[in-house]
Structure 1
Amino acid sequence: AVTVHINYLLVLDEISRAENAYPHMTGAYATIQVQWKFPRQGWIKCNTDGALVSQNQQADCGGVFRNESGAWLGGFARKLGSCSALMAELWGILSALQLAKEKGYRKVILESDSTVAIDLIVKDYPDNHPCATIVSFINRLKMQEWE
């Protein structure tokens, strides 16, 4: 199986955007330092991301593979055209899993900064969800022979 983690950098970014959208709301704040952690010996970590440029509604995704010493093993970037930010995140995850399989990586930790994307992958979702097809592809790939 593939281990899937959430990177909280995007969560903090989403909180910041919400605060800017609602400046009249106030509250207590704390600074949280987030840093990349090395995978265990023999494992590979892939960090993925998706992005949407709001001006032209064009999306991209990408990912980076690193080994247990942090050495760069490879990466990818894809232009997706017009889709949602969530779909871009999911395309990043699917592309990472496909590339990991192609490269023969069997011990993979996949990190994403999208809690919504991770929740769709690890929890149940309605069959009529707009992202159901890509999530289904991700889950089928995730269940293939990994270590």
Structure 2
Amino acid sequence: MDGAYKEVRVAGCGGVIRDSNGVWRGGFAKNLDICSVYIAELCVVLEGLRYARRLEFNRIELEVDSSVVNQELRQPGYGRPLGGALVMRIRSLLELEWEVVINHSY
């Protein structure tokens, strides 16, 4: 999954979901309102978790390329006030009955 932002104030996010065998199970893309890279990265995490939930996965590995977002999700209390509502939505999904492993991808 990845979020992106261009200087022309166009932002979007998208991702792919694969099963444990690496088989493609779905993908998504979404245009976002004007936002920062940080917000775009939070949006892609939220959308990806929602999508995985709809597909009824009960164990997922979430690959996040933003070190700030990775730390924000791993360490409650870390982070910035900007995006707080998104972080709360993500954390509420992380607390559901499923296993989510967050990995930092480079």
For the criterion TM > 0.5, the same-fold answer is: yes
Matched, 1:95 2:47: yes
- Counterpart-to-counterpart distance in 1, 2:92 and 2:74: 12
TM-superposed CA distance for 1:144, in Å, is 0.7
TM-superposed CA distance for 1:69, in Å, is 2.3
* Structure 2 unmatched ranges of 5 or more: 100-106
Which structure has more relative contact order (CA 8 Å, sep 6+)? It is 1
Aligned mate of 2:5, from 52, 73, 87: 52
* Structure 1 unmatched ranges of 5 or more: 1-47
> Following TM superposition, where does structure 1 have runs of at least 4 consecutive aligned residues deviating by more than 6 angstroms?
none
RMSD of aligned Cα (Å): 1.3
Partner amino acid for 2:96?
Answer: Q
8 Å Cα contact 1:52/1:59 also seen in 2:
yes
- Counterpart-to-counterpart distance in 1, 2:19 and 2:50: 17
| TM-score calculated relative to the size of structure 1 | 0.63
Partner amino acid for 2:3?
Answer: G
- 1:65-97 deviation per Cα after TM superposition (whole angstroms, max 9, x unaligned): 112222111010000020000100000000011
Give the corresponding residue for 1:82: 34
Between Structure 1 and Structure 2, whose CA radius of gyration is higher? 1
Q: Percent identity?
A: 37
- Counterpart-to-counterpart distance in 2, 1:114 and 1:76: 19
Give the corresponding residue for 1:19: none
What secondary structure sits across from 2:12 in the alignment? strand
**Higher strand residue share:** 2
